[in-house]
Amino acid sequence: MMDNVSLITIFFLSGLNETKNHRFTLFCLTLLCYCFILLVNLSLIVTIILDKHLHEPMYILLCTFCVNGLYGTTGFYPKFLWDLLSPVHVISYSGCLLQALVIYSYACSDLSILAVMAYDRYVAICRPLEYHSVMSKQRLIKLVCYSWFTPFCIIAINIFLTSRVKLCSPHIAKLFCVNWIIVKLACFPAETIINNIVAYITIIIYVFHGVFIVWSYVYLIKTCVNSMDNRAKFMQTCVPHLTSLFSFLLTILLDIMLIRYGSKDFPQTLQNFIAIEFLIIPPIVNPLIYGFKLSGIRNRILCFVNIKLK
C-alpha cells in the first residue's frame, strides 16, 4: 500500500467516457441550459433590485435564492462545457477541492435559504401583526448571512479534512469533483474516520433543516384551514416554496444515495443525470415558479415587457 502513495496534482474525471459520440449535441444542450439558467435568475434578481416595492423580506430571500443558484451552477457548467470540447478530462487538485466546495456549499445554502423562507412564511401567516418587527431589516441581514456563510464554513471544514488525506488514485468516476468520492480514494481508510464523523454531522444538521421546514408547513396548514384569507396567502406564497423544496430534496437525496450506497448497478448515463439534477432542475424551476406565481414579480415583469414592446 505504501508504494501506491504519491503526490496527487491532478484528477481524471471519467464520467464522460460513454458519451464520445454525442459530445457536440450535449455541448449545445448544456450551453443552452446554462444560458437559460443565467437569463431567468438574473431577470428575477434585477427585477427585485430595481423595484423598491419588492424590497420586502420574502422577495429579498428569493433574490438570495437566485444568487445562490448562479453561484452553484458557475461551479459546474463552465468546467463541464470545457470538458465536452476537450479530449482529456482533467482538473487540478486544488481546482477539484474548490469545485467540491462551491457545489456542495451551494446545495447546503439552498436548504438553509428554504428554511429561512419557511420561517418567514410562518411569521407572515401565523403572526401577521408582529411580522415587520420580527422580520426587521437587521434580522433579515443576519438570516441571509447565516444561510450563506454557515453552509460555506461547514463544507469548508469537510474539504479541509479531505485535503489532509493521502490519496492512492487520481481517478474520479464522476462529471465533477465530489468530496466523498475523493475521500474514498484514500490509501489508509483509518485516516478518514474524522471525515466520516464530520460528514454525518453535516448530514444531520441539514436533516434538521428539513424537519424544521416540514414542521413549519404542518403548522401553517393547520392555521390556514379555517381562514379563507390565510388559505389565499398560503396558495400564493407557500405553494412555490413547497414546489422548490420538493424538487430540491428529491434531486439531492437521489445524489446522496448514489454516492453513499453505491452505483455499480446503474448505467453511467443515468448516474450522470442523477448527479447533476440538483444543478439543473432547481436553478431553472425556482425562478420560473416564483416569477409566475408571485403577483408582485409577475406584474413587474409584465409591465417591463409591455414598456419594451411599446
Question: Cell for 263?
Answer: 452505483
What integer pLDDT is reported at residue 76 of this predicted model?
95
Are 224 and 144 in contact by the 8 Å Cβ rule? The answer is: no
What integer pLDDT is reported at residue 269 of this predicted model?
74
222 backbone φψ class: left, alpha, beta (φ>0; ψ -120 to 50): alpha
**Is the per-residue pLDDT at 114 higher than 60?**
yes
Angle separating helix axes 239-261 and 93-126, nearest 10 degrees: 150
The side-by-side arrangement of strands in the sheet containing 90-92 is 90-92, 10-13, 171-172
Out of 54-68, 208-222, 294-308, least confident range: 294-308
pTM for the model stands at 0.86
Identify the sign of the CA torsion 11, 15, 17, 22: negative
What integer pLDDT is reported at residue 2 of this predicted model?
46
Distance CA 151, CA 153 (A): 5
Q: How confident is the model at residue 1 (pLDDT cuts 50, 70, 90)?
A: very low
Which neighbouring-strand residues pair with 11? 91
160, 164, 170, 176 alpha-carbon torsion, rounded to 10°: -10
Averaged pLDDT, 142-148: 94
More confident residue, 160 or 220: 160
Name the residue among 232, 293, 261, 286 with its Cα closest to residue 40: 286
